[in-house]
Structure 1
Amino acid sequence: MKNSDRLDRRLICAKLSLSFRKRDVMSMPNVDQVVPTRTVLIFAFPGAQIIDIAGPAQVFTTANDEGATPRYDVRLIAVNPGNVVTASGLSLLATEVPSNGEFDTLVVPGGPGVHSLKDDVLTRATLQDLSRRARRVCSVCTGAFLLASTGILDGRTAVTHWRSCERLSKEFPAVKVDPLPLFTNDGSIWTTAGVTAGIDLMLKLVQLDQDSTLAIKVARRLVVYMRRAGGQKQYSEPLSLQTLGSPLYERLSRRIASDPTAPWTVDKMAQVAGQSLRTFHRRFRQTTGNSPADAVEKVRCELAYSLLQTTELSLAQIAGRTGLGSQSSFRRAMYRQFGVSPTELRKRFSA
């Protein structure tokens, strides 16, 4: 046999061997298909607040983009699948509620629609069933009303939007309503304060499921601050000064914010408000629930909070620019208003 014939036969055998190997590889099961996932079911309903749905969904989806292992399988479900009209008028396409099987996380959003649904028998039964099958259950904002209607919040600590805490407490007296924190955890149940607090909670869950590094990556991608602590107060006190009572005090709050380092004495505040000193003392506290000195501190601390988030100014520089005085005075004031020191806040924001 010629050498060229031997070479041709060897080449043919090599090609056949390679072909069989490719076929064997192609016939092997796809390992990626059996990798477990964390199923997140978001419960949609007419009148839900869209950010309570989109915010949590985006946190988990971005976590996937950043390499979450296991990945999150996020699904929007509804008692009546199909188009669900949210409170903003935008429609979302929801799938049917899975009839069986355990899953990782149930997220119940808030919105004006909760109040017409909390007495709906089918909704209550569906949420009770889903809650039993979920590893953890979360409500966002006024979604706590739907959870409370099922009885699973009885005897547990919960929070909702600060404007609805009193109503939640009155309608469901068995629930221990704490109006202050951004989110609470009681066993397998998590509840959050208003609107964007849902994002804070989901970042916390990603941190627990994965690690702090991945949660920080998600926060950076979403351009949010990592992490507002669950025990941090849920609303801005200076904002409450602007929204409670007389427009006179709204203007005063804005004046203080525009010139926080000024010596805001009670006399000066009364003058800006156009009231006598005696009238100002009485009416300001009645209207805002704060003393004049407390109000000035609240506005200054809110400005300092913003500077901690958005600048690299030193603590001494921030204290000086906001009229909070020395660093020790700054630290005490921030702890009074937010329950967190400026150093700790800066660590969270810079992480």
Structure 2
Amino acid sequence: MTPVYMNASVTSASAVRHVVIAVAPDLVLLDACGPLEAFWRAELTLAEVARQAAVPSATGMPAHEPVAYRLTVASIEGGVLQTFPGLPVVTQRLDALDDEPIDTLIVSGVPIDERIALQPELVAWIARRAPRVRRVCSVCTGAFYLAAAGLLDGRRATTHWRDADLLARHFPKVHVDADPIFIRDVRQTHAVWTSAGVTAGIDLALALIEEDVGHAVAMQAARRLVVFMKRPGGQSQFSAALAAQASAGGPFDALHSWMAVNLRDDLSVERLAGQARMSPRTFARRYVEEVGRTPAKTVSSMRLEAAARSLAASRAPLKRIALDCGFGSEQNLRRAFTRRFGVLPLDYRERFASAA
């Protein structure tokens, strides 16, 4: 039996939100198809609500008639566009949308290097059209397009952690924060959203869906995508897995694995240095050189990740989670958790627990 979502409204055709995903040649495929899938799953969920509610306008409605979202993938020239993985996609021309209302504009990412070789026509179109769009978003290196169009000046923004320094150097008016999964920056009622790399576009889209039609629909879209937890925007891009990958085969590969299974123990610099068979001073210096952050920040990230996983996947008491993850007390866990995620641990559990 399909659940009924009491806070999900069935929209009229005139209230259907037009979501345009603007793409450039060699786009990163998942940057576009991830959000596209999330919105489509929300559309399927709300179409079921419409059928259950037996809304007259929905009765006998053709399967392709949108209920909540109309989705368009468009490029400057339209037609078939090659993607970074090599799979071609069919797009509409962006100038064909000039007289159509756009609710949400999402700019997908492309491979970026020091040359910042952006498509100038797309930059110009974004700059011209953005003032008439309710909210403008980017996924991954799509932030470079928003920055080049002047939309991120004076705003806080994020992108793929690997490209954050490049974005900050080339666009110094942008307040780049490489840590969050996504950022929502609102100025004078105009919202600009930026997200981290690749799969973070799905988290961004789920947050947009939640803002539009409510938490229950966003969570059902996540279930349809087999995304077991909708990550909050404040969650860090950095993870224990990324730390291990960054130094895979390096001097701290084994140390990261050891840390992950010993989170409740003493993980001071002295203890970690002993495990790595280095002096504390040498260890601290070498670690920053190899990993790009201090040992203390890695320990904190690992412990918070472990706590977040336990909160989402179990009903274990907060005291037990605090001890198992190395915080020592509930108070320490609450303080660290709120500082990182902007929400109390039990509120996090209530909102982001895995769907059962």
Question: Could you tell me the TM-score, scaled by structure 2's length?
Answer: 0.78
Mean alpha-carbon deviation: is it higher for 250-259 or for 283-292? 283-292
* CA separation of 1:121 and 1:194: change in aligned 2, threshold 3 A: closer
Structure 2 residue 171 is the aligned partner of structure 1 residue 172: yes
Question: What is the distance in 1 between the residues matched to 2:153 and 2:284?
Answer: 42
Alpha-carbon contact 1:233-1:339 (below 8 Å) kept: no
Mean alpha-carbon deviation: is it higher for 34-43 or for 288-297? 288-297
Per the TM alignment, residue 103 of structure 1 is displaced from its structure 2 partner at its CA by 1.8
Per the TM alignment, residue 227 of structure 1 is displaced from its structure 2 partner at its CA by 4.1
Partner AA of 2:75 in structure 1: A
Q: What SS does structure 2 have at the residue aligned with 1:103?
A: coil
Per the TM alignment, residue 282 of structure 1 is displaced from its structure 2 partner at its CA by 4.4
Structure 2 residue 225 is the aligned partner of structure 1 residue 222: yes
Whichever structure has more helix as a proportion of its residues is 1
Question: What is the distance in 1 between the residues matched to 2:295 and 2:316?
Answer: 28
Q: Which residue of structure 1 aligns with residue 20 of structure 2?
A: 41
Question: Could you tell me the TM-score, scaled by structure 1's length?
Answer: 0.79
Question: What is the distance in 1 between the residues matched to 2:142 and 2:114?
Answer: 10
Larger radius of gyration: 1
Q: Which residue of structure 2 aligns with residue 91 of structure 1?
A: 88
Q: How many pairs were matched up?
A: 320
Per the TM alignment, residue 201 of structure 1 is displaced from its structure 2 partner at its CA by 1.9
Partner AA of 2:29 in structure 1: I
Alpha-carbon contact 1:320-1:326 (below 8 Å) kept: yes
Per the TM alignment, residue 249 of structure 1 is displaced from its structure 2 partner at its CA by 1.8
Q: Which residue of structure 1 aligns with residue 349 of structure 2?
A: 346
* CA separation of 1:33 and 1:259: change in aligned 2, threshold 3 A: closer
Unaligned runs of 5+ in 2: 1-10, 51-66
Mean alpha-carbon deviation: is it higher for 97-106 or for 48-57? 97-106
* CA separation of 1:316 and 1:179: change in aligned 2, threshold 3 A: same
Per the TM alignment, residue 119 of structure 1 is displaced from its structure 2 partner at its CA by 4.4
* CA separation of 1:162 and 1:291: change in aligned 2, threshold 3 A: closer
Partner AA of 2:275 in structure 1: V
* CA separation of 1:280 and 1:116: change in aligned 2, threshold 3 A: closer
Q: Which residue of structure 2 aligns with residue 250 of structure 1?
A: 253
Question: What is the distance in 2 between the residues matched to 1:122 and 1:282?
Answer: 46
Q: Which residue of structure 2 aligns with residue 328 of structure 1?
A: 331
Unaligned runs of 5+ in 1: 1-31
Question: What is the distance in 2 between the residues matched to 1:138 and 1:335?
Answer: 26
Q: Which residue of structure 2 aligns with residue 53 of structure 1?
A: 32
Question: What is the distance in 1 between the residues matched to 2:351 and 2:12?
Answer: 37
The C-alpha deviation readout for 1:127-178, integer Å capped at 9, x for no partner, is 2333244222111111010111122222333221222222112212222323
Question: What is the distance in 1 between the residues matched to 2:38 and 2:229?
Answer: 12
Q: Which residue of structure 2 aligns with residue 185 of structure 1?
A: 185
* CA separation of 1:313 and 1:96: change in aligned 2, threshold 3 A: same
Q: What SS does structure 1 have at the residue aligned with 2:327?
A: coil
Q: Which residue of structure 2 aligns with residue 279 of structure 1?
A: 282
Partner AA of 2:69 in structure 1: Y
The C-alpha deviation readout for 1:248-287, integer Å capped at 9, x for no partner, is 2221111111233344455542332122445334433554
Question: What is the distance in 1 between the residues matched to 2:122 and 2:293?
Answer: 42
Q: Which residue of structure 2 aligns with residue 8 of structure 1?
A: none
* CA separation of 1:257 and 1:84: change in aligned 2, threshold 3 A: same
* CA separation of 1:251 and 1:175: change in aligned 2, threshold 3 A: same
Q: Which residue of structure 2 aligns with residue 202 of structure 1?
A: 205
Alpha-carbon contact 1:83-1:93 (below 8 Å) kept: yes
Mean alpha-carbon deviation: is it higher for 48-57 or for 114-123? 114-123
Per the TM alignment, residue 317 of structure 1 is displaced from its structure 2 partner at its CA by 2.8
* CA separation of 1:262 and 1:240: change in aligned 2, threshold 3 A: same
* CA separation of 1:221 and 1:174: change in aligned 2, threshold 3 A: same
What percentage of aligned pairs have identical amino acids?
38
Per the TM alignment, residue 212 of structure 1 is displaced from its structure 2 partner at its CA by 2.2
Question: What is the distance in 1 between the residues matched to 2:340 and 2:276?
Answer: 24
Q: Which residue of structure 1 aligns with residue 46 of structure 2?
A: 67
Question: What is the distance in 1 between the residues matched to 2:19 and 2:233?
Answer: 21
Task: For 1:224-243, list aligned pairs within 5 A.
Answer: 224=227, 227-236=230-239, 239-240=242-243, 243=246
Partner AA of 1:184 in structure 2: R
Alpha-carbon contact 1:45-1:113 (below 8 Å) kept: no
Alpha-carbon contact 2:264-2:325 (below 8 Å) kept: yes
Partner AA of 1:66 in structure 2: T
CA RMSD of aligned residues (A): 3.0
* CA separation of 1:299 and 1:233: change in aligned 2, threshold 3 A: closer
Q: What SS does structure 2 have at the residue aligned with 1:41?
A: strand
